[in-house]
């Protein structure tokens, strides 16, 4: 068994044989007038192909086709292309340079247009396909299509009767490929290394976890067969629930929000029906660069995300580094136990300059929207007091600089048992709480879930752990505070039933998970359980019973 990792472009689960689509080599060395003639013929052939399908397409697909047609008829595109041909370049090189130039123009625009740059790249592949006369793959049996690149237009034209899912090395979560795959309920994995795949082998495509399992064991196949049957039902109906507004048992709004790491994720969350952002992991803005983002850079991104959701909460978590998250240009002293050392709010209080720059950006971005600010890895009241002093200093600096600002609601992440035991003590100092269950589990069970030798201790359904979560929710509500969850546990369907039953105010998950959770919330009912007397297998039995009942209602 071998696992290929990538990024989920479209959720869902499927099992089938791999069809490896190796595209023809493109030896397109035409030059001069012949190259121009080849371009004109390819352009007209592709335009005819696009126009012939235009009336049969969905709105998203028509949007893509119209973009292609505009670009093919753009005189500046052809002029630049012919300039390159006149300079002596061959057809293939001239087309590559021309599309690269237009891509760069889009990459300098807003993030949504940056994703359209991928459509320009895909159009180049369509031009080459037409010139070499390549046909679309014919699937003789139900298959998972794997290729270096599957363009959106290719996906539209590939027969769907035997297409189970797609693995494409190129693509993005906001690309037309991903959007069309989601509309078709096809699992899609992007960013995977397809060179490791032979073709013809049995595989499981898990669009939830973003993995492709090659040559799975019989146990894995059996497990995923059950998941597959469930998802066939869920996927069909979840799309209808993107705009559904769930309610708690008491009639109050039940928020299902998105976890994001950048502006692109925010657009995806909006598309999927997110009721705000429950966790903006700002550390991703600090990675893959040589220096930290400036106040202005951060302000522009936070402001755009806040304004996208207007009255819905957008919770911006301040920089959470340390432990397993290090930033290349920041010097970290070696620690014997980094997970117990300088991380989260501890690091921010130690490195005040970077922290204050981020605070100023958040304060400025909070005008005219519903941005919230959240501190990570808080244990004690003293840490909140110290952080709020720095907020006050940031305010004073902004006033001196003549910049407008607003102090947003301030909350903390509950990621350690001591933070939950301290909830009553936080009452006068914070406005809301969010459960970070990834770390909370680690610090409660003292276990690294990635360590195979102790993986038997990773038991997220142990009743004692849920007793701790219940304590957090009840304690927050007793002091009149709002509480959500932004850890991975919130996206688990059985855990979702429990969280709803315990009265949590918000569940924040990966954007592609939102429609399914909204669908479940339309049928959900409170599960009455007492964690004190239950064993783990008994709790799972109770949850499975309720889950099956919901599935029967959804399927009826």
CA atoms of 354 and 130, how far apart (whole Å): 52
CA atoms of 61 and 435, how far apart (whole Å): 39
Does residue 310 sit in the same domain as residue 457? yes
Does residue 363 sit in the same domain as residue 470? yes
- Higher-scoring residue by pLDDT: 360, 339: 360
415 annotated ligand binder: yes
Express as a percent the part of the chain with pLDDT over 70.
94
User: DSSP characters for 37-89?
Assistant: HHHHHHHHHHHHHHHHHGGGS-HHHHHHHHHHHHHHT-HHHHHHHHHHHHTT-
486 carries an active-site annotation: yes
Does residue 103 sit in the same domain as residue 184? no
Which of 115-119, 137-141, 242-246, 510-514 is the least confident region? 115-119
What is the biggest distance separating any 2 CA atoms in the chain, rounded to whole angstroms?
83
Mean of pLDDT values over 321-328: 61
Does residue 408 sit in the same domain as residue 363? yes
Q: What ranges in 329-436 are assigned the alpha helix state H?
A: 345-350, 352-365, 381-401, 417-421
Q: 233 lies in a domain? A: no
Mean of pLDDT values over 30-56: 92
pLDDT at residue 329 in the model: 64
Q: 285 lies in a domain? A: yes
The helix-helix angle for 91-107 and 75-86 (nearest 10°) equals: 140
Determine how β-strand 7-10 pairs with β-strand 188-190: antiparallel
User: What is the band of 112 on the pLDDT scale with cuts at 50, 70, 90?
Assistant: low
Mean of pLDDT values over 345-357: 92
From 94, 110, 132, the end of a domain falls on 132
Q: 115 lies in a domain? A: yes
Q: Please give the model's pTM, rounded to 2 decimal places.
A: 0.72
Does residue 410 sit in the same domain as residue 394? yes
Does residue 388 sit in the same domain as residue 445? yes
Query: ∠ CA 23-24-25 to the nearest 5 degrees?
Result: 120
- DSSP reduced 3-state for 509: strand
Look at the chain and report how many structural domains it folds into. Answer: 3
Does residue 409 sit in the same domain as residue 550? yes
Q: 225 lies in a domain? A: no
Catalytic residue among 372, 462, 486, 546: 486
Please write the tens of the pLDDT for every residue from 127-152.
998 998 888 888 889 999 999 889 88
Share of the chain residues as helix, strand and coil, in percent rounded to the nearest 5: 50, 15, 35
pLDDT at residue 341 in the model: 78
438 annotated ligand binder: yes
Q: 366 lies in a domain? A: yes
CA 62 remoteness from chain centre: 25
User: What is the band of 328 on the pLDDT scale with cuts at 50, 70, 90?
Assistant: low
Give me the phi and psi of 63, to 5 degrees please: -60, -45
CA atoms of 438 and 235, how far apart (whole Å): 26
pLDDT at residue 337 in the model: 72
Q: What is the CATH classification number for the domain harbouring 124? A: 1.10.274.10
Partners of 413 in the β-ladder? 434
477 carries an active-site annotation: no
Question: Average pLDDT, whole number, for the chain?
Answer: 88
pLDDT at residue 259 in the model: 92
494 annotated ligand binder: no
Q: What is the CATH classification number for the domain harbouring 334? A: 3.20.20.60
User: What is the band of 364 on the pLDDT scale with cuts at 50, 70, 90?
Assistant: very high
Does residue 164 sit in the same domain as residue 302? no
Q: 228 lies in a domain? A: no
Report whether pLDDT(290) > 90.
no
pLDDT at residue 444 in the model: 92
Does residue 59 sit in the same domain as residue 165? no
Does residue 209 sit in the same domain as residue 249? no
* Tokens linked to 294: 């400036």
* Tokens linked to 168: 């494409």
Please answer whether residues 53 and 238 qualify as being in contact, where contact means their C-beta atoms are separated by less than 8 angstroms.
no
CA atoms of 452 and 457, how far apart (whole Å): 10
pLDDT at residue 452 in the model: 54
Mean of pLDDT values over 188-213: 89
Does residue 189 sit in the same domain as residue 209? yes
pLDDT at residue 383 in the model: 97
Report whether pLDDT(107) > 80.
no
Express as a percent the part of the chain with pLDDT over 90.
52
Q: Give me the domain span that covers residue 175.
A: 2-23+135-219
Please write the tens of the pLDDT for every residue from 423-476.
999 999 999 999 999 889 889 998 776 565 776 777 888 999 999 999 999 999
From 116, 132, 148, the end of a domain falls on 132
Report whether pLDDT(486) > 60.
yes
Mean of pLDDT values over 410-417: 97
Q: What is the CATH classification number for the domain harbouring 8? A: 3.50.30.10
pLDDT at residue 180 in the model: 84
Cα–Cα separations (whole angstroms), residue 25 to 80, 128, 145: 25, 10, 19
Report whether pLDDT(323) > 60.
no
Catalytic residue among 176, 372, 462, 546: 176
Residue 355 CB neighbour total at 10 angstroms:
21
Q: 232 lies in a domain? A: no
Does residue 381 sit in the same domain as residue 483? yes
N- to C-terminal Cα distance for the chain? 37
Per-position b or e across 64-95, b if 16+ CB within 10 A of its CB? bbebbeeebeeeebbebbeebbeeebbbbbbb
pLDDT at residue 196 in the model: 83
317 annotated ligand binder: yes
CA 538 remoteness from chain centre: 33
From 104, 132, 160, the end of a domain falls on 132
CA atoms of 169 and 65, how far apart (whole Å): 22
Q: 230 lies in a domain? A: no
CA atoms of 121 and 158, how far apart (whole Å): 19
439 annotated ligand binder: yes
- Higher-scoring residue by pLDDT: 420, 23: 420
Q: If we measure between CA atoms, which residue out of 252, 325, 323 comes closest to residue 285?
A: 325
């Amino acid at each position: 068994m071998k696992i290929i990792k990538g990024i989920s472009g479209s959720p869902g689960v499927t099992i089938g044989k791999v069809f490896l689509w190796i595209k023809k080599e493109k030896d397109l060395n035409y030059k001069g007038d012949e190259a121009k003639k080849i371009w004109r013929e390819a352009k007209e052939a592709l335009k005819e192909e696009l126009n012939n399908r235009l009336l049969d397409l969905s709105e998203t697909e028509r949007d893509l086709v119209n973009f292609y047609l505009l670009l093919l008829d753009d005189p500046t595109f052809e002029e630049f292309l012919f300039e390159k041909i006149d300079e002596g370049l061959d057809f293939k090189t001239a087309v590559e340079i021309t599309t690269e130039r237009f891509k760069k123009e889009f990459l300098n625009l807003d993030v949504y247009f940056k994703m359209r740059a991928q459509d320009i790249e895909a159009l180049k592949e369509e031009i080459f396909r037409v010139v070499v006369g390549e046909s679309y793959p014919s699937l003789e049996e139900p298959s998972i299509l794997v290729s270096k690149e599957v363009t959106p237009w290719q996906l539209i034209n590939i027969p769907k009767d035997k297409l189970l899912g797609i693995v494409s090395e190129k693509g993005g979560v906001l690309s037309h490929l991903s959007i069309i795959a989601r509309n078709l309920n096809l699992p899609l994995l992007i960013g995977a290394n397809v060179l490791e795949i032979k073709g013809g082998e049995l595989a499981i495509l898990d669009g939830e976890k973003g993995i492709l399992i090659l040559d799975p064991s019989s146990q894995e196949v059996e497990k995923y067969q059950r998941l597959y049957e469930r998802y066939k039902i869920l996927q069909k109906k979840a799309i209808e629930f993107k705009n559904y507004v769930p309610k708690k048992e008491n009639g109050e709004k039940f928020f299902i929000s998105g976890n994001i790491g950048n502006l692109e994720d925010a657009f995806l969350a909006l598309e999927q029906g997110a009721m705000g952002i429950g966790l903006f992991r700002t550390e991703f803005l600090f990675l893959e660069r040589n220096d930290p983002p400036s106040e202005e850079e951060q302000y522009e991104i936070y402001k755009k995300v806040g304004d996208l959701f207007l009255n819905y909460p957008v919770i911006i978590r301040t920089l959470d580094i340390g432990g397993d998250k290090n930033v290349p240009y920041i010097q970290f002293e070696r620690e014997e136990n980094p997970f117990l050392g300088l991380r989260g709010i501890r690091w921010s209080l130690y490195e005040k300059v970077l922290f204050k720059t981020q605070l100023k950006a958040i304060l400025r971005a909070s005008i005219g929207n519903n941005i919230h600010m959240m501190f990570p890895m808080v244990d004690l009241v003293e840490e909140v007091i110290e952080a709020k002093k720095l907020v006050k200093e940031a305010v004073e600096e902004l006033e001196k600089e003549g910049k407008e600002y607003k102090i947003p609601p301030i909350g903390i992440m509950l990621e350690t048992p001591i933070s939950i035991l301290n909830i009553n003590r936080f009452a006068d100092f914070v406005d809301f709480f969010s459960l970070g269950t990834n770390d909370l589990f680690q610090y409660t069970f003292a276990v690294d879930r990635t360590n195979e030798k102790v993986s038997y201790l990773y038991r997220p359904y142990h009743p004692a752990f849920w007793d701790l979560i219940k304590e957090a929710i009840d304690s927050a509500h007793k002091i009149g505070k709002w509480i959500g969850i932004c850890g991975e546990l919130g996206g688990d369907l059985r855990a979702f039933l429990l969280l709803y039953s315990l009265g949590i105010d918000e569940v924040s998950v990966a954007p592609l998970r939102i429609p399914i959770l909204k669908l479940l919330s339309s049928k959900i009912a409170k599960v009455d359980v007492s964690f004190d007397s239950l064993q783990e297998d008994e709790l799972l039995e109770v949850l499975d019973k309720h889950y099956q009942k919901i599935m029967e209602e959804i399927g009826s």
